[in-house]
Amino acid sequence: MTGNDQAMTDSDLQTLDDKAMESLRAQITEHLQVKDINGEHVGTVDHLDGDRIKLTKSDSPDGEHHYVQLSDVRSADEVAVYLSKTRDELM
């Protein structure tokens, strides 16, 4: 490390985490597919509910709403939300 380099503080890291989460939340929109780590369809986004994604009940095998924690989201794009867990780990 040179004299001009500065280590990131915990506060700096928290700010980056907050910005990353804010960006991720902005990408998660109604009707996106939700896929597990293996690419398997888990459901369809109904809407964000706090720190969870509420899935549509019309896409659920039991006709009920299910939820996915935002902490289980790996990434999102204009097609889908990609999770860091398998479908079985979520249920």
Q: Where are the domains of the chain?
A: 29-90
Quickly list DSSP for the chain: --TT--PPPHHHHHHHHHHHHHHHHHH--TT-EEE-TTS-EEEEEEEEETTEEEEPSTTSTTSS--EEEGGGEEEE-SSEEEESS-HHHH-
Instruction: Say if residue 16's pLDDT is above 70.
Output: yes
**Superfamily of 29-90 according to CATH:** PRC-barrel domain (2.30.30.240)
Residue 5 pLDDT level (bands cut at 50, 70, 90): low
- For 28-64, the pLDDT digits (tens) are 999 999 999 999 999 999 999 999 999 999 988 899 9
pLDDT number for residue 1: 46
Instruction: Say if residue 91's pLDDT is above 90.
Output: no
